[in-house]
Amino acid sequence: MIKVILALITIVWLTSSCSPIYYEPSSHNVPLMEQKGDLNIGASANLILNKGEVQASYAITDYVGVITNYMIKKYLTENDISDIRTTQMFEAGVGFFHNPHEKIALEAYALVGRGSFENYITDLRGDSESLAGLMTKYALQLNFGLKEKGLDLAYSIKPTRLNFSNLDGDLIYGSELQKDVLSAKDSYNFIEHAITARFGMDGIKFQAQLGTGGRQIAERERRLRSHYLTCGIYIDIRKLQESGSEKELTKRISQPRGIISSPF
């Protein structure tokens, strides 16, 4: 399993270097909530790609929940060519969740995101090029999950609409002025997919997610990164508290009771 994960990370790294960064897909927040009061927080990263994320979700009622996600990615080299590339995105959404069976979770969230990107490149002659801008994202995320004790598996699909604005810079890539490439369309529409696996205790689980998106975009526009792999920790606050209470109760029950002697 570890060898497979390392191989996937290597493939992602090899196919993600040497090009400008504009949009980077955020990991899907897939909480698989069950009831009112569910509170989940998570943190994940891809250290090879210098990508980090934090996520949170909360169930307002037994059927309505909110989710948030913040992602940042920064690539920096100071060798023969100075290359600084960053992109970040914050997303928030509200939606519904339903559990038709104790082992099945269905969720749907409408999300809005706001982000930015920056690319600054200086070549061997000292000539510099740059491109920066803002992004607005609209998405509908559908989650389909299976839950077993200590293991969660989920597939999520995310139709997405992405708009660029406030573009500024003179960066040329592939003989094209990238400002013109990005502004050629009012918006970019694509679909993101992700497979999420979590395993561990009910309250704390290790999480790995493999995702892809934007493959419908034309070849010259694929600086909208189309794949990622992240690993991290996901914490279910309610189940963590319940687990602590159960352990305390078990401890008390298992303690030997004192012998009460008869006064006669």
Tens of pLDDT, residue by residue over 166-194, are 999 888 877 788 888 888 888 888 899 99
Answer whether residue 250 is part of any domain: yes
Per the structure, the complete domain to which residue 55 belongs is given by 2-254
Answer whether residue 90 is part of any domain: yes
The average pLDDT across 214-242 equals 73
Dihedral sign of CA atoms 57, 136, 89, 142 in order: positive
Tens of pLDDT, residue by residue over 154-167, are 999 999 999 999 99
Number of domains the chain is built from: 1
Answer whether residue 147 is part of any domain: yes
CATH of the domain at 66: 2.40.128
Considering only residues 149 and 37, tell me which one the structure prediction assigns the higher pLDDT: 37
Answer whether residue 259 is part of any domain: no
Q: Is the pLDDT of residue 210 over 80?
A: yes
Answer whether residue 262 is part of any domain: no
**Residue 129, Cβ density class (10 Å: 0-12 exposed, 13-18 middle, ≥19 buried):** middle
Q: Is the pLDDT of residue 49 over 80?
A: no
Answer whether residue 260 is part of any domain: no
Answer whether residue 178 is part of any domain: yes
Answer whether residue 169 is part of any domain: yes
Q: Is 7 helix (H, G, I), strand (E, B) or coil?
A: helix
pLDDT at residue 5, as a whole number: 45
* Range list of β-strands (E), 39-187: 39-46, 51-59, 64-78, 82-101, 104-122, 128-148, 151-169, 172-173, 176-177
